[in-house]
């Protein structure tokens, strides 16, 4: 007879061969499967069809003020071939999921237990749309539209965002814009100085970001120091000009007082993304 131990050994061998398959290999295999029936056979055991947003092992984007968890082709192979994805977010008091777009998906966004202030700006010519989303309501963000969401309450709020694509992508507007070549950013901003451009780029905090002054004051909070590791890395094509303040090593760049530094963290010279 089979001992329960040998069954356990067989099971764990099967499990570890499943669990050890690199995710990209599994996604590749699913993409080669000719039919949905084959994909269902590839996705075994059954738990491969579930994703736990409360205990994720991947897909986490963490800022000081909260975090989001994404289930898409990078984290959850079961979506391959099915054209859907989902992000669940946990926004701390006043937290903002900073302005971003999803280049390949429309989003519907459901507020579970907090009141969210949402704004949406679609293509050139479109008017600005703003809404309050109380618990139990949802809104639509058209594919490619810039949007943001802020938790206007003083407790953690949870939202569920569903996408009509399995690889919706995220493009964070501030980080992407300030990742362009400095002379292009300067000109786009009407000739703003290079030090100002670099100072502004250096201040952009990692998403999820701390919220508005009004909300922080109402909730009795002070704006925390926020890391800025999500900035676009510099290569030769978008390098800061040499000899400017921000291109110096962090230790020797104490003064980076761009416009607007008065409004924030008291830590203007954190240049960790240069590392
Ligand atoms: C969904 O909406 C909430 C609040 O309106 C917002 O914080 C969140 O960023 C939105 N989710 C996504 C993925 O855009
Ligand atoms: C909303 O739900 C999340 C997740 O369960 C929880 O962490 C948070 O405390 C809840 N907030 C409120 C206001 O109930």
What integer is the mean pLDDT of 29-51?
Answer: 96
Q: How many domains does the chain have?
A: 2
In angstroms, the CA 138 to CA 157 distance is 14
**How would residue 271 be classed by pLDDT, with cut points 50, 70 and 90?**
very low
pLDDT digits (tens, 9 = 90+) for 138-152: 999 999 999 999 999
At residue 269, does pLDDT exceed 50? no
Determine the residue of 116, 140, 171 to mutate for testing ligand 1's pocket, defined as the one with the most ligand atoms within 8 A of the Cβ atom.
116
Measured in degrees and rounded to the nearest 5, phi and psi for residue 108 equal -115, 135
Measured in degrees and rounded to the nearest 5, phi and psi for residue 99 equal -55, 130
In a domain, 144, yes or no: no
Cβ-defined contacts of 237-244 (< 8 Å, 24+):
237/181, 238/179, 238/180, 238/181, 238/182, 240/182, 240/194, 240/198, 241/182, 241/194, 244/194, 244/195, 244/198
What residue's CA is closest to ligand 1, atom 9?
Answer: 97
In a domain, 216, yes or no: yes
In angstroms, the CA 224 to CA 138 distance is 29
Weakest-pLDDT range from 4-13, 100-109, 240-249: 4-13
pLDDT digits (tens, 9 = 90+) for 180-208: 999 999 999 999 999 999 999 999 999 99
For residue 150, what are the β-bridge partners? 96, 117
Determine the residue of 69, 90, 158 to mutate for testing ligand 2's pocket, defined as the one with the most ligand atoms within 8 A of the Cβ atom.
158
Q: Could you tell me which of 48, 113, 37 has the C-alpha nearest to residue 81?
A: 37
Structural domain of 24: 9-50
Task: Look at residue 270 in the predicted model and tell me its pLDDT.
Answer: 31
Cα-based distances in Å from 96 to 25, 32, 239: 35, 39, 29
In a domain, 85, yes or no: no
Percent of the chain with pLDDT over 70: 81
In a domain, 89, yes or no: no
Percent of the chain with pLDDT over 90: 73
113 lines ligand 2 (CB under 6 A): yes
What integer is the mean pLDDT of 207-218?
Answer: 95
- For the chain, how many helices (H) and strands (E)? 7, 11
In a domain, 187, yes or no: yes
Task: Look at residue 20 in the predicted model and tell me its pLDDT.
Answer: 54
In a domain, 180, yes or no: yes
* Ligand 2 centroid distance, CA of 113 (Å): 6
In a domain, 150, yes or no: no
In a domain, 227, yes or no: yes
Weakest-pLDDT range from 1-15, 60-74, 122-136: 1-15
Q: What order of strands is seen across the sheet that includes strand 107-111?
A: 60-63, 66-71, 85-91, 157-163, 107-111, 138-141
């Amino acid at each position: 007879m089979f001992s329960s131990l040998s069954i356990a050994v067989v099971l764990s061998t099967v499990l570890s061969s499943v669990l050890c398959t690199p995710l990209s290999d599994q996604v590749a295999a699913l993409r080669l499967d000719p039919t949905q029936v084959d994909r269902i056979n590839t996705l075994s055991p059954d738990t491969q069809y579930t994703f736990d947003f409360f205990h994720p092992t991947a897909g986490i984007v963490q800022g000081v003020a909260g975090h989001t968890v994404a289930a898409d082709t990078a984290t959850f192979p079961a979506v391959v071939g099915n054209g859907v994805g989902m992000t669940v977010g946990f926004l701390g008091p006043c937290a903002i999921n900073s302005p971003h777009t999803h280049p390949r998906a429309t989003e519907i966004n459901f507020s579970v237990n907090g009141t969210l202030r949402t704004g949406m700006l679609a293509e050139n010519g479109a008017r600005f749309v703003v809404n309050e989303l109380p618990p139990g309501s949802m809104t639509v963000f058209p594919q490619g539209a810039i949007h943001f969401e802020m938790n206007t309450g003083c407790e953690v709020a949870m939202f569920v965002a569903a996408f009509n694509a399995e690889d919706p992508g995220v493009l964070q507007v501030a980080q992407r814009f300030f990742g362009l070549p400095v002379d292009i950013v300067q000109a786009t901003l009407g000739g703003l100085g290079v030090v100002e451009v670099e100072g502004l780029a250096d201040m952009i905090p990692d998403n999820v970001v701390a919220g508005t002054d009004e909300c922080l004051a109402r909730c009795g909070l002070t704006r925390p120091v926020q890391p800025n590791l999500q900035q676009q890395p510099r290569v030769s094509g978008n390098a800061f000009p040499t000899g400017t303040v921000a291109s110096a090593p962090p230790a020797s760049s104490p003064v980076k007082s761009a416009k607007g530094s008065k409004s924030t963290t008291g830590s203007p010279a954190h240049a960790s993304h240069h590392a």
